[in-house]
Amino acid sequence: MKEIMAIVRMKKTGATKKALIATGVAGFTAVKVLGRGRLVTDPKAIEECKEKLLSMGMDEFSESGDTDKIVTSFLDGSRSFPRRLFTILAHDDDVPRIIEAIANANRTEYGIGDGTIFVMPVADAVRVRTGEAGEAAIW
Amino acid sequence: MLLIRAIVRPEKKDEVLAELSSAGFNAATMVDVVGRGKQKGIKIGGMVYDEIPKTLILMVIPEDAKDKVIKMILAIAKTGTEGTFGDGKIFVSPVDEVYTISKGTRGL
């Protein structure tokens, strides 16, 4: 018995749900969360985008110097963005299949911010309606 | 790898995250939660508040970083020198596998 925690883009909630149904795993729990990932350590990667954002005249609305800080935090990954956290309970054999499905549904061309999947062991599960425990309680 | 679930005061969230980020643990997920602890909530007058708002911070870290991260969260999330009821809890659970979706690779 495993618990799969998948953090995905808000926009990809529908795609993830569809992918799960196609895999034969309909049950899940989802929460809105805020999150951030690895820092972008290469300054060249954000340089171009940063100039573009800075040239949009955001100085009119905030103190100068502040804008630079906001834009940098926006691009280098130190700021949190909204994401959806899926929790799925699964049999051991189904785990690779589910991971494959979630990963395929969520991959984008941006190369960063697509999310992470964690797989954790679960000690026990009980279905409230029938009281059955263990593997039978998953689905 | 280990999953750290830290329940902290909402006002301490930014401070904890900034400190963790500067120590190289940037990746984290935050959820706003409500809950109560051993003290059965707060009693003010005749009213009992047992849904106290907290922030749940989820982090997956390598096993050897556990002590460092926990020590850091404990130091910052504590209020007062002795600590007060409601400062929160930290839970640690094992994680079997981690996948990064964008790169399609296994591992943190």
Residue of B nearest to A30 (CA): B31
Residue A37 in contact with residue A113, Cβ under 8 Å?
yes
Give Cα B102 to chain centroid, integer Å. 26
pLDDT of residue A9: 93
Question: What would the mean pLDDT of B87-95 be, rounded to a whole number?
Answer: 94
Most B CBs within 10 A among A34, A94, A117, A119, hence the mutation to make, goes to A34
Question: What would the mean pLDDT of B61-79 be, rounded to a whole number?
Answer: 93
**Of residues A123, A29, A24, the one with CA closest to residue A135:** A123
ipTM of the complex: 0.79
pLDDT of residue A61: 63
pTM score: 0.83
pLDDT bin (cut points 50, 70, 90) of residue B53 is very high
Domain coordinates in residue numbering, chain B: 2-106
Chain B residues near residue A10 by CB distance under 8 angstroms:
none
Upper half-sphere CA count for residue A22 (Cβ side, 13 Å): 13
Give Cα B4 to chain centroid, integer Å. 7
Asked if the A1-36+81-139 domain carries CATH number 2.170.140.10, the reply is no
Most A CBs within 10 A among B1, B102, B106, hence the mutation to make, goes to B102
Low-confidence ranges of chain A (pLDDT < 50): none
The per-residue pLDDT for range B2-41, each reduced to its tens digit, is 999 999 999 999 999 999 989 989 999 999 999 998 888 8
CATH of B2-106, one of 3.40.190.10, 3.30.70.120, 3.40.50.150, 3.30.1330.200: 3.30.70.120
Of A33, A85, A115, Cβ closest to residue B101:
A115
Residue A7 in contact with residue B58, Cβ under 8 Å?
no
Cβ of A121 within 8 Å of Cβ of B96? The answer is: yes
Domain coordinates in residue numbering, chain A: 1-36+81-139, 39-79
Rounded to a whole number of angstroms, the distance from the CA of A132 to the nearest CA of chain B is: 25
Residue of A nearest to B20 (CA): A78
Is B106 an 8 Å CB contact of chain A? no
